[in-house]
Homo-oligomer: A and B are copies of this chain.
Amino acid sequence: MSYFRPEIDEMEGYVPGEQPKGMTFIKLNTNENPYPPSPEVEKLLKSCDFARLRLYPDPLCTELREAAAELYGVRGENIIIGNGSDDILTIAIRSFTSDKKPLGCMTPTYSLYKVLARIQGAECKEVKLNGDFSLPENLLEQASGTGLFIFARPNAPTGNSFPIELIEKFCAGFDGAVMIDEAYADFARENCLGLVGKYPNVIICRTLSKSYSLAGARLGLAVASPEIIAGMMKVKDSYNVNMLTQKIAAAAIRDQAYFTEITGKIKKTRKRLNEELRKLSFAATESETNFLFVSPPDGDGEKYYEYLRKSLILVRYFPGDMTGHCVRITVGTDDETDKLLELTSKYVRSA
């Protein structure tokens, strides 16, 4: 006899990307930023009044909310702060889905969406992307009946984005809540923040894990109408974000010069890596993220992944019809990229 809900007993847990002990690997598997966070973070941690850790943190994250509101050109009441964007996703799925209201999302996409629906006891309606990872014509029709539809835009693990006009058309025509998970938008040409003022059902999700180099601090947020934010606030843990992360995140957001520098470097390296892999006959579409989703010349993603792993470079392989011909490679430093290209060149030559 089990004490658990049947949904929990029957499900597999989410398997996050491997976090190897020690640093023998060049780690290009979980889309972390290769550069350290803003020097303001170190300054802050060193001058922090550590005695204040005895007190509960601000449940509203007021200072951080204001800093984020200023950055995104909205008001504090348009923002909810999460313990990483995974927390924001959990809050949204608990707010808008149930056994009566399915979740909707594209496939392939960030696999956590489906797992979170499972935990919630909600069905997950997966809408298949076209073979080139673009949105299908009849998307709105397929999404019908879901209480929440999540787009990752740019999408993961595919790295491409979807035309903003199609997303806007969807928001206008869809009668549930729409979350646009912009975890990678800081590496893209444009974002959907402008939709928040126009559509009451739009929720933009952001994270500081990638573009601000703060995966270890856990900070995500959502931008939406005050009504949506107020409802989601009821679902979040009061003290979901610890005191240090609130301060670190505000400091990082205020240092836009550093942010622009490191995201710029990553975009430059991404361009070079993409061009060089194409020269080696890889199929590599344009990426709007801090990773590339590329197919080796023989179309065997698993083999290339295993080769790199043996060579102490960790990338990510997603088995399956739509993704198995590719691997996902996080954009690292220039040195890491040189090493990857050197090994890949050997791989292609010896094939």
Interface residues, chain A, with chain B CB atoms under 8 Å away: 1-5, 8-9, 11-14, 16-17, 19, 27, 30, 32-37, 41-42, 45-46, 48, 50-59, 83-84, 86-87, 90, 94-99, 101, 119, 121, 147-148, 175-177, 201, 209, 213-218, 228, 231, 233-235, 237-245, 248
Contact = CB atoms under 8 A, between A and B. Distances in A.
Given A3-B96, A36-B53, A218-B242, 6 more contacts: A2-B231, A4-B96, A19-B55, A56-B209, A98-B121, A216-B244
A4 B50 CA distance: 39
- Each complex incorporates copies of this chain amounting to 2
A51 B58 CA distance: 26
A195 to B, nearest CB: 15
Nearest to A41: B50
A119 B245 contact: no
A98 B98 CA distance: 11
Contact of A231 (B8, B37, B216): B8
A54 B216 contact: yes
A17 to B, nearest CB: 8
Nearest to A213: B54
A215 B1 CA distance: 37
Contacts of A27: 55
Nearest to A99: B99
Contacts of A216: 52-57, 242-244
Contacts of A121: 98
Q: Which of A11, A35, A243 has the most CB of B within 10 A?
A: A243
Contacts of A37: 50-51, 53-54
A214 B50 CA distance: 10
Contact of A51 (B5, B36, B237): B36
Contacts of A245: 242, 244
A36 B50 contact: yes
B239 A55 contact: no
Nearest to A98: B5
A212 to B, nearest CB: 9
25 contacts: A5-B96, A5-B101, A5-B147, A8-B235, A11-B234, A14-B238, A17-B56, A19-B59, A32-B56, A34-B54, A35-B54, A42-B50, A45-B50, A53-B213, A53-B214, A54-B213, A54-B216, A55-B216, A56-B215, A86-B238, A98-B121, A216-B243, A217-B242, A242-B245, A244-B244
Nearest to A224: B3
